[in-house]
Amino acid sequence: MSWGIFGEDLPDEANRVTVDAALTDSSGIPAPKITYAVSENSRRLLDFHIARATESLHTAGAYDVATEALMRSSGWHLLGTARMGTDPRTSVVDPYGRSHDIPNLYVMDGSVFVTSGGVNPTSTITALALRSTEHLIASRRDQRIPA
């Protein structure tokens, strides 16, 4: 028997994606650097729910309970690095995934999420990509051109 605990990370300016100063890909293009740390709030949320899950297992008759707080091998859905919104001061892309700053750059993945539940985000990513693509096609003659 196992429990999987999913919690929501609150937005944290310290968590971000930047361009790595030293690392490049095979074409010499600078690589992204992901900076992420579990916040104090997220740690407390996980600890609380791990304790509740442990209690439930003991109540159900378990005699040996092992816990692992952060399962790196299970993968995570790190979302929200290119936040969607209408205000360029607080978001990276508009509601259709178009960059506020770079003409004709669209982001159509989970990074546009402003928040996420504890479920796989694939269906929502797919729905947003379809919505954004339909908007891109409908407005294709109005695309901004880089200056």
Note whether 43 and 5 are within 8 A (CB).
Answer: no
List the catalytic residue out of 49, 77, 100, 135.
Answer: 77
Residue 132 identity: S
Q: Which residues pair with 6 in a beta bridge?
A: none
- 136 Cβ partners below 8 Å, 6+ apart? 96, 98, 106
Measured distance CA(89)–CA(97) in Å, rounded: 15
Per DSSP, 21 falls in state: E
Residue 77 annotated as catalytic? yes
Query: Up-side HSE of residue 25: CA atoms within 13 Å toward CB?
Result: 7
Residue 118, classed as helix, strand or coil, is: coil
Q: Which residues does the annotation mark as catalytic?
A: 77
